Chains A and B, each alone.
Chain A
Amino acid sequence: MTRGRFVTLAMAAGFAFLWLPILLLVGYAFSADRIPFQWGGFSLRWFAALAADDRVIEAASLSLRIATGAASLAVLLGGAAGWGLARYGRFRGRALFGALIGAPLVLPEVVTGLSLLLLFVALESVTGWPAGRGALTVLLAHATLGAAFVAVVVQARLTETDRSLEEAAMDLGATPFIAFRTITLPLIAPALAAGWLLAFTLSLDDVVIASFVSGPAGTTLPMALFAMLRLGLTPEVNALGAVVVIGVGSVLILAALLLRRSDSR
């Protein structure tokens, strides 16, 4: 009885637990049968039906735009926060700041969504901005969530980067800004890219927060998927799910590769 075999078995069980349902969904998306969980031979008809559905296409395009904007904003905000945590030593309130920046990672999405909704409503009544709820508020909410992830990734990367690199640059005549641009930024670029991709996928597959802060003109792809589900399971839902899984999966793999490459350097 070898230990190796047990480990293999445990891993297989774990992976099956995680991936079997998803694989089933992706598999049935290619089934020709009209009943969602019955195999009727290989077919791409549900993908074609999806592509012809204006509602889905519109929602997908909106989702991609929101995710791009939210991820970019998250990189700016989270990058700055991660930088502050890693570089400004033991400033007053550092522990609190560190815990607060990570809070969205552990807070239930319902809480995050509800509190953001309250914030947007209060803000609008005081300043008149943001006018109503829709794509913009979803983008802002997703940027908040994404920033937490980016901050963690960037902080980790900066912590393992020798602080004296920046000092060496300044010693050789670089102002702090030039030192940041020529030394720090290239070194944390993979972490920023990975953080961007994480924030992007986070935005792409969020339905809870989006449901809270969105408005009539802000139906994202997961929201559309959820709405379709309410009318009952259709093979079209399977196909849409498959598209999302494959899209998000590839982005996550890309992020992991980026982080690994930056580690080996």
Chain B
Amino acid sequence: MAGPNPASGPLLRAEAITKRFGATLALDALDLTIIEGEFFALLGGSGSGKSTLLRIIAGFDTPDDGRLLLDGADIVATPPWARPINMMFQSYALFPHMSVADNVAYGLRRAGTPRAEAAPRIAAALAMVGLTGFERRRPHELSGGQKQRVALARSLVMRPRLLLLDEPLGALDAGLRERTGFELRALQRETGAAFVMVTHDQEEALALADRVAVLEGGRIAQLGPPRAIYERPASRFVARFLGAANVLEGRAVAAGFDSTEAGATFAGVIPADTVAVALRPERIRLAANATGPNTARGVVEDAAFRGDDTLLLVRLAGGALLRVAHAEEDGAPPERGGGVTLAWDAADVVPLAS
């Protein structure tokens, strides 16, 4: 993963951005810095404030409080048409009464770009997204993937320094998503623009972004590179939202972390304020006759074959249900209803403070 150029400075700074819709607090004094040329993902569920933040950056919503600095200048009062920021809409928002070429040309026309300069830029933008030859088509004659490319070309032809993408892969078929994701990354490197993507899909965010901010209730629950967030979630919410991690409640003790619901003691580096621990399914192994901390006993309630591995649902002695990924190379998975002993390494125990 290339990552943003460390030498490049901040492009956009959000300072204490607050937005209310009636009684609901959509954004709660949110601070955020977007670095020049990075691929940034705002990840969150519905109501997390991610879309509101995107619309505020684009200029369609005005924050109730806080500042939005682009290159150090406050742009809160700047209307969307005067911001050097472009957005790709979730619905793509292609103009249905215009051809592909006219859609792409729309922004350049508004900017008064001379025809002689606009034509090659339009051609280049369409070539960049692989739609050369589609100039005369109307949006309704295009497939979903092609529409998305036109929307991208229409934004990129403006050479924005910051491109906002609202659920860019959301409307695509599963088969098309992976390929389009790689293409998005390639376009981002090629153009050098900073991409800020909004998504509710953690896989999408982890796969595409250089940095991910997980949003919860209008605040940033955690921000960092995808791997760091995945490996070291900071809270129960992030651990659950990123999917699949087992979250076990309990309390910190001298020997580590005691979880009654797991019926196990977790040893490792456990700060005193730990309220729960996260344990990834693929870090748990079957270990006959293991005892002591970082082991647990349980009964296999169900098993689902997933190709690379088998997902086991193991009911622990304390009552909690643990998800365990049993790799194929470790042999045949245990029978349903059979008792198993599980073990894991101290390094894989992630303490959660909230």
Contacts and interface: CB of A to CB of B under 8 A. Distances in A.
The 9 closest A-B pairs by CB, nearest first: A172-B107, A173-B110, A168-B93, A164-B93, A164-B89, A170-B80, A170-B81, A173-B81, A186-B97
A107 B320 CA distance: 67
A53 interface: no
Contacts of B85: 171
Contacts of A164: 89-91, 93
A174 B81 contact: yes
A117 B202 CA distance: 66
B75 to A, nearest CB: 14
Contact of A183 (B79, B95, B155): B95
A168 B55 CA distance: 12
A186 B80 CA distance: 22
A172 B151 CA distance: 11
Contacts of B95: 165, 168-169, 183
B110 A174 contact: yes
22 contacts: A162-B93, A164-B91, A164-B93, A165-B93, A167-B80, A168-B93, A168-B154, A170-B79, A171-B81, A171-B155, A172-B107, A172-B155, A173-B81, A173-B82, A173-B158, A174-B106, A178-B110, A182-B106, A187-B96, A187-B97, A265-B96, A265-B140
A175 B89 contact: no
B297 to A, nearest CB: 55
Contacts of B80: 167, 170-171
A178 to B, nearest CB: 7
A73 B65 CA distance: 43
Given A170-B79, A187-B96, 11 more contacts: A164-B93, A167-B80, A167-B93, A169-B106, A170-B81, A171-B155, A174-B81, A175-B81, A186-B97, A265-B96, A265-B140
A175 B140 CA distance: 26
A168 B89 contact: yes
Nearest to B87: A171
B89 A167 contact: yes
B151 to A, nearest CB: 8
Nearest to B84: A173
Interface in B243-299: none
A178 B97 CA distance: 16
Contacts of B60: 167, 170
Nearest to B86: A171
Interface in A169-217: 169-175, 178, 182-183, 186-187
Nearest to A174: B110
Contact of A172 (B91, B140, B158): B158
A137 B85 CA distance: 52
B7 interface: no
A164 B89 CA distance: 7
Interface in B76-128: 79-82, 85-87, 89-91, 93, 95-97, 106-107, 110-111
A159 to B, nearest CB: 15
B110 A162 contact: no
A265 B86 contact: no
Nearest to A265: B96
A173 B97 contact: no
Contacts of B89: 164, 167-168
A265 B155 CA distance: 24
A187 B94 CA distance: 12
A175 B81 CA distance: 6
Contact of B86 (A165, A172, A174, A183): A172
Interface in A136-182: 162, 164-165, 167-175, 178, 182
A218 to B, nearest CB: 41
A63 B223 CA distance: 71
Interface in A228-265: 265
A163 to B, nearest CB: 9
B169 interface: no
Contacts of B87: 168, 171
Interface in B326-354: none
A168 B85 CA distance: 12
B26 interface: no
A170 B58 CA distance: 10
Nearest to B105: A172
Contacts of A167: 58, 60, 80, 89, 93
Contacts of B140: 265
B296 to A, nearest CB: 50
Contacts of B155: 171-172
A175 B158 CA distance: 16
Nearest to B166: A164
Contacts of B111: 173
B154 to A, nearest CB: 7
A182 B107 CA distance: 12
A154 B95 CA distance: 18
Nearest to A173: B110
Given A162-B91, A164-B91, A265-B140, A172 B110 contact: yes
A245 to B, nearest CB: 35
- Max chain A Cβ within 10 angstroms of own Cβ: one of B82, B107, B111, B140: B107
Contacts of A162: 91, 93
A172 B96 contact: no
Interface string B124-163: 0000000000000000100000000000001100100000
A174 B85 CA distance: 13
Contacts of B96: 165, 187, 265
A168 B107 CA distance: 10
